[in-house]
Amino acid sequence: MKRSLPLRLSKNGPGASMMQASVILIVLIILAYILSSGVFIQPTNLLNILRQNTMLLIVVLAEFLVILTGGIDLSLGAVVAFSSVIVVLFQGYGLGLALVMALAGGLLIGLLNGMLITYLRLPAFVITLAMQQIVYSVAKVMTNGAKIEHSLNGAMLNMRLTQLYKQDLFGVSVPIWFCVGMVLLVSVYMHTKYGYYIYAIGGNDKAARMSGLPVKTVRIMAYVLSGLFSALAGFLFVSRVGTGDPDTGTLLSMDAIAACTIGGTSLAGGKGNVSGTVIGLLVLCVLNNVMSLVHVSPNIQPLVKGLVILIAVYMNNMKSKGDN
């Protein structure tokens, strides 16, 4: 009979870490308004920020689920690239089939990540980094290392797919509505028993095992969802740019990890919430947009972004030490 141990779960509602991220976001918005002479708050620019980062939001949600379990996924960008290639190659046979094939590919990659990490007990960093290289290589072999616009049967990219980003619903881009739905879906999921399991496993893996929770299943499922979400992001990428690109997404995993960290999600697992993660993403989005509006050199932009990330992580670290 398994021994039951008390599980200590962190508060997954709005907390100090999320408040700190909110403060950073508000400060950035004020600076953006001042530096851009008001251009930043124009509705067209705000909607453009959201539209341009729909793909990143989905990847951030994928990383969020994995990090909460105490893991990490560095293969997300590669899955996006692979998915974009699959979508283009199969779209000539129907968009439904293209989407199913992309999701199947993402699911398989996520499943492999989860099983290798769970059963081989190797660091998630090593497994997903290796998977990243493998998936990028496969995508490049499939396309000879070039962007593609034609399917396997020679058909050009389906116009319905390329028009997706241009379609509006109540004045808001369809992909934005899709992302709102994804955020709500993950939020609801985190309030089910499976969300409880994720927090429990990330907070105290040993106690979760001793309490009889399905640790292996939950951890594998987190990586499967990560792969599925990344495949969806690849579908949106094709809709936005009109090509399948085997080289895209090289920095997506890093941006996703940064957004989660800024939003208060602990890299040790077990701490974080969806709302804080979304705020963390908005911090990055606003920062990137204002730097573009004021014509900050592309060589300097990574430096500025890195400093903001360091400040956010430092603030969260001080908060964690204060709690202890």
Q: pLDDT of 104-163, one tens digit each?
A: 999 999 999 999 999 988 899 999 999 999 999 999 999 998 899 888 888 888 788 888
Q: How confident is the model at residue 3 (pLDDT cuts 50, 70, 90)?
A: very low
User: Stretch 230-255: mean pLDDT, rounded?
Assistant: 91
Whether residue 164 lies inside any domain: the answer is yes
pLDDT at 39 (0 to 100): 83
Residue 196 is assigned to a structural domain of this protein:
yes
Among 150-159, 193-202, 311-320, top mean pLDDT goes to 193-202
27-38 in b/e burial notation, b at 16+ Cβ within 10 A? ebbeebeeebee
Mean pLDDT within 185-190 = 94
What is the average per-residue pLDDT within 184-198?
92
Residues 193-221, mean pLDDT to the nearest whole number: 90
Q: What is residue 14's predicted lDDT score, i.e. its pLDDT? A: 45
Report if pTM > 0.85.
Answer: yes
pLDDT score recorded for residue 97: 93
pLDDT at 317 over 70: no
In this predicted structure, the answer to whether residue 11 has a pLDDT above a threshold of 60 is no
| Position 9 pLDDT exceeds 80 | no
Does residue 140 fall inside a structural domain? yes
Residue 16 is assigned to a structural domain of this protein: no
Would residue 197 count as lying in a domain? yes
pLDDT in tens, 26-58: 988 898 889 888 888 888 888 888 888 899 999
pLDDT (0 to 100) of residue 25: 87
Q: How far is CA 40 from each of CA 250, 289, 292, 293, rounded to the nearest angstrom?
A: 27, 8, 11, 8
* pLDDT at position 257 over 70: yes
At residue 249, what is the residue type?
Answer: G
Residue 324's pLDDT is 54
Report the SS3 class of residue 65: helix
Cβ distance 267 to 67 under 8 Å? Answer: yes
Q: Would you call 19 exposed, middle or buried from its count of C-beta atoms within 10 A (0-12, 13-18, 19+)?
A: middle
- Would residue 107 count as lying in a domain? yes
pLDDT of residue 321: 60
Residue-level pLDDT at 183: 95
268 assigned to some structural domain: no
Can you give the residue range of the structural domain that contains 80? 52-248
For residue 313, being part of any structural domain is answered with: no
**50-70 pLDDT tens trace:** 888 899 999 999 999 999 999
Which of residues 171 and 35 earns the better pLDDT score? 35
**Interatomic CA distance for residues 182 and 176, integer angstroms:** 10
pLDDT digits (tens, 9 = 90+) for 266-298: 888 888 899 999 999 999 999 888 888 888 888
Cα 248 to Cα 80: distance, rounded to the nearest angstrom: 7
How many domains, the chain? 1
**What spatial distance separates the first Cα and last Cα of the chain, rounded to whole Å?**
33
pLDDT at site 288: 87
Residues of the chain with pLDDT > 90, as a percent, come to 45
